[in-house]
Structure 1
Amino acid sequence: MIYNVHEREYPVPAARLGELLDQVAGPDSPLWPVRHWPPMILDRPLDAGADGGHGPIRYRCTAYQPGHRVEFSFTVPVVKGTHTFSIRDGRQPDSSVLRHVILARPRGLGRVIWPVALRWLHDACLEDLLDHTADSLGHPPRHRARWSPWVRLLRRLGRTRRSAQPDHQHPPVAPGDPAR
């Protein structure tokens, strides 16, 4: 079973953070870290029934409460379950928390792919998302997330594989990014 949680508190009201959540998909998302990761692209505006994903990860929006919560169900064969973004009030007045949870079961090859590669890439992407959200809110993090050597190697291997088979849907990684 996969239960993976990432969250961060921001010094802004939940309504402000909710505005960013509503823009999670798209090439100019103020939430999704599009500078370093394939953008989340949906086949229509964010709402229940929208299909899409990021990179090879595919999912369908199965629940959406504007400004509060969005749930996606995986449609790839290697994992069955959901990943959900939600917003709640923070511990301090006028603060809020962005939380992302994966609740899923790896299937077939996913039993190997998740612990060896996807978990590490997912964790790095989500920490970048939390940093990017802070930047978009005008409150940059004191300490930015750093990719582990394993994540840098996986990204380098993925870039090598992609260069052998060009995929114009994914933005190129800027020079120097793997050394973050």
Structure 2
Amino acid sequence: MGVYNVHERLLAAKESEVGALLDTLSSSGDALWPGREWSPMEFDRPLAAGAVGGHGPVRYTVAAHVPSTWVRFTFSGPRGFHGFHEYAVLPVDEEHTLLRHTLAMNARGAARFTWPLLWRPLHDACLEDSLDHAELACTGTVARPARWSLYVRLLRGLVS
């Protein structure tokens, strides 16, 4: 099963401000990943190509990192996840930047069922929380904060 999942937020911030957030991923000052609400993103070394880690049961390796611009992670778990996810910082104009997260993978075996029933709702909620973190860091407020659905709250109760 092919999966293509995109989350993005137009931020009233300069490219350099949004890019600086990207570079904090998995650090003690991480301003992008919602590590207080979700499992923290952790690696065996600072964010750079070859770093191995993930968040919770989702495991990956940093395939490439262009500082302040782009980072791509290739999946190594859960079983059946074959592909990548990435953040990209895309300038729109001098005062606006699009922050995009893309997940592209083939779900094989049991993942064909666990992706739509378990992983996708949790992924979607986590990514919207991440974009809320970015918006808050760049603007000091979040215009429309993400809300977890009843299903996501139920799943979090079951897996935590």
Q: Given the two structures, how large is their TM-score scaled by the length of structure 1?
A: 0.85
**Number of corresponding residues:** 158
Cross-structure match for 1:131? 132
Q: Secondary structure at the match of 2:131?
A: helix
Structure 2, unaligned runs of 5 or more: none
- Cα drift, residue 150 of structure 1: 0.5
- Cα drift, residue 109 of structure 1: 1.1
Cross-structure match for 1:55? 56
Q: Structure 1 CA distance, aligned partners of 2:27 and 2:107?
A: 27
The aligned amino acid for 1:82 is F
Q: Cα RMSD between the aligned structures?
A: 1.1
Cross-structure match for 2:95? 94
Cross-structure match for 1:81? 83
The share of aligned pairs that are identical, in percent, is 43
Cross-structure match for 1:114? 115
The aligned amino acid for 2:118 is A
For each residue in 1:135-174, what CA deviation from the matched residue of structure 2 results, as whole angstroms up to 9, or x when unmatched? 1223321221000111000001112xxxxxxxxxxxxxxx
CA contact (8 A) 2:121 2:152 kept: yes
**Larger CA deviation: 19-28 vs 67-76:** 19-28
- Cα drift, residue 26 of structure 1: 3.3
- Cα drift, residue 78 of structure 1: 1.9
- Cα drift, residue 27 of structure 1: 4.8
Return closer, same or farther for 1:27/1:54 CA change in 2, 3 Å cut-off.
farther
CA contact (8 A) 1:28 1:34 kept: no
Q: Quick check: which one's strand share is greater?
A: 2
CA contact (8 A) 1:27 1:41 kept: no
The aligned amino acid for 1:84 is E
Runs of 4+ residues over 2 Å off in structure 1: none
- Cα drift, residue 2 of structure 1: 0.5
Structure 1, unaligned runs of 5 or more: 160-180
Cross-structure match for 1:12? 13
Q: Structure 1 CA distance, aligned partners of 2:29 and 2:39?
A: 11
CA contact (8 A) 2:3 2:105 kept: yes
Cross-structure match for 1:172? none
Cross-structure match for 1:164? none
Q: Given the two structures, how large is their TM-score scaled by the length of structure 2?
A: 0.95
Cross-structure match for 1:26? 27
Structure number with larger C-alpha Rg: 1
